[in-house]
Amino acid sequence: MPQAELNRYPHRRKNILTGECILVSPHRTNRPWQGETSLNETASRPEYDPDCYLCPGNKRANGEINPVYDSVFAFTNDFSSLLEDIPAGKINRENLLIAKSESGICRVLNFSPRHDLTLAEMEESDVIKVVEAWRAEYKSIGSRPKINHVQIFENKGAMMGNSAPHPHCQIWEQESIPVEPAMELKEFRKHFLKTGKSLLADYWKREKKEKERVVYEYVSFIIVAPF
């Protein structure tokens, strides 16, 4: 099917990072839309909010008091999705009901003491401190024997589940490798055994050549919209 036809008719595209095939229906973009729309979050916020759980010196939801920090501040999530010290256990009932305990650590990293800034609005020198803190957290907790995967992520906006508007991210470290990264590792290994080359390096070259999905390009990285 020619490229032009791909943009008009239903087809399946392979996600080369996971090996899955995904249904794409480009013709549906022509349908009328009367669903929900979200307004941009333009409400201004103060530099300091006395009711914010993450601002310096404030009491958090569990009763602890934040230090009067003046840069990056990291702490263990008060309501962690993963817990470090849990009893080991598993069930398997006729290979139909299967579960296994999962230990881990959830950390919160505040980007700045200021309540009104996003990461994109911070000074470059302060952003560097955030990146350095990411590295430090990754190395210190990721080196523990029981930790096999570290994920650093940020939820942006209430619609994405961000319950605290103060600029921050989460760092989840857990015992097992989650499904999506495990699938990607499998595809990376398959590509290397077949070609002797890196899957991401080959993907980089392909997208640079086509120049259809490149969002931003720099010396050491490229951002693309997935094919």
For the domain that residue 90 is a member of, what is the CATH number? 3.30.428.10
**Cα–Cα dist 213/227, whole Å:** 7
Q: Which domain holds residue 191?
A: 181-224
Residue 90 counted as domain residue: yes
Question: What mean pLDDT comes out for the span 109-118?
Answer: 95
Phi, psi of 168 (to 5 degrees): -160, 170
Q: Is 166 a catalytic residue?
A: no
Average pLDDT, the chain: 89
Kindly report, residue by residue over 25-77, the tens digit of the pLDDT: 887 877 777 676 666 665 688 999 999 999 999 999 889 999 999 999 999 99
Residue 48 has a pLDDT of: 95
Residue 13 in tokens: 């595209």
Residue 126 counted as domain residue: yes
Residue 78 counted as domain residue: yes
pTM of the predicted model, to two decimals?
0.81
Question: What mean pLDDT comes out for the span 122-143?
Answer: 95
Residue 83 counted as domain residue: yes
> In this model, does residue 93 exceed pLDDT 80?
yes
Query: Count of domains in the chain?
Result: 2
Residue 125 counted as domain residue: yes
Looking at the structure, do residues 189 and 102 belong to the same domain, yes or no? Answer: no
| Catalytic one of 11, 115, 149, 168 | 168
Looking at the structure, do residues 135 and 193 belong to the same domain, yes or no? Answer: no
Q: Cα dist. 119→38, 127, 167 in Å?
A: 22, 7, 7
